[in-house]
Amino acid sequence: MRASYNKYTLRFKRPSGTSRGILTEKETWFVFLEEEGKKGIGECGILRGLSADDRDDYEDKLRWLCDNIELGEEVLYAQLKEFPSIQFGLEQAFLSLRSPSPFLLYPSNFTSGQEVISINGLVWMGDKSFMREQIREKLDSGFSCIKMKIGAIDFDTELELLQSIRKEFSVDEIEIRVDANGAFTSSNALEKLKILSELSLHSIEQPVKQGQWELMARLCEQTPLPIALDEELIGVFNEDVKQKLFQTIKPQYIILKPSLVGGHKGSESWIKLAEKYGAGWWITSALESNIGLNAIAQWTHTLGNPMPQGLGTGSLYTNNIESPLTVSKGSLRYGEDNLWDTSTLKN
């Protein structure tokens, strides 16, 4: 078996606001496997400034992986514990290599085009007019669930935007999720949660910065608005620590980004704990190209979770890999033509 890797820079169609600033491009890495004429591909979707494996030795670890590919998937996965995005790329590459088609990883009614995955429409951070424009676009496109990132502009303005949606659409018509990306503080978090709860929101992601378990536990206990943990899960590799996190914080939901928590295996370990402790969960992509999004979507469909998932990021880039994945009427679909074009991978 031979293995290689390649860096690829994804370019946003328009600058996108996140809690880590304005993004115009996004770095990602691909792992390629080849054995007896068959080929496999996986994406290592690192997010600089957020991923636990945002380290100076990241490329060194990719090189080590390729040099030691004969150790096999199980051994390599275990030794990549502190590099969850590379674990995910490795997982995908082996799945791809073993599959009849490099991109048909989990054949199902989703990949045959018979079923779709309900997704939320993502509203990026920005000024009031830009956010209002996005909200109207998502609603007009048929989304019944939108996720709005808050914390970039002042709280009163964000509240006004949310109120305007609620005045026009009831809770039965539109489900609203908000993502604070840790923007609230210990002194104002509970009060802001109470104010937001009056808008009949579904949930709020990560109201305060990660790593404050006792504060987050108090908020989850007292909140009138369900709290979902997101960044809180990043860098938690040990199963005992994962269990302690649940026992301490007792969240209402967790959100799983396979690139940030060790791929499908890492996500499934979190799902087992969520179900053990009575927490809900859903899956979200993390700005991967269509290669990584494809792997996440096909796997997500096998889980049978009817909630809207966070998988609508495939159309963000000017140079994404052409794929059968499309978004229509608030759902992610897999085209029956199974069309893939990886000729752009060498950039």
Q: Which of 26, 138, 147, 149 is catalytic?
A: 149
Tokens of 23: 């993004």
Spatial separation of the C-alpha atoms in residues 341 and 316, rounded to whole Å:
17
Report the residue count for the chain: 347
**With left for phi above 0 and alpha for psi between -120 and 50, is residue 308 left, alpha or beta?**
beta
Beta strands in the chain (DSSP E): 2-18, 21-35, 38-44, 117-118, 121-123, 145-149, 175-179, 203-205, 227-229, 253-256, 280-283, 325-328, 331-334
Q: Can you name the CATH fold of 117-345? A: TIM Barrel (3.20.20)
- Classify the C-alpha dihedral 143-145-149-153 as positive or negative: positive
What global pTM score does this model have?
0.94
Nearest to 40 by CA among 98, 86, 83: 98
Exactly one of 26, 192, 209, 257 is catalytic; name it: 257
Domain with CATH 3.20.20.120 in the chain: 117-345
Residue pair 42/96 in contact by the 8 Å Cβ criterion: yes
Place of tokens 């006792």: 214
Rounded to whole angstroms, how far apart are CA atoms 321 and 341?
6
Q: What CATH number matches the domain at 2-98, 3.30.390.10, 3.40.50.720, 3.90.700.10, 3.30.10.20?
A: 3.30.390.10
The tens place of each residue's pLDDT in the chain, 347 residues long, gives 999 999 999 999 987 766 567 788 999 999 999 999 999 999 999 999 999 999 999 999 999 999 999 999 999 999 999 999 999 999 999 999 999 999 999 999 999 999 999 999 988 777 788 888 888 898 888 999 999 888 877 899 999 989 988 888 899 989 999 999 899 999 999 999 999 999 999 999 999 999 999 999 999 999 999 999 999 999 999 999 999 999 999 999 999 999 999 999 999 999 999 999 999 999 999 999 999 999 999 999 999 999 999 997 678 899 999 999 999 999 999 997 778 988 877 64
Contact 146, 135 (CB under 8 A): yes
Where along the chain do the CATH 3.30.390.10 domains lie? 2-98
149 is catalytic: yes
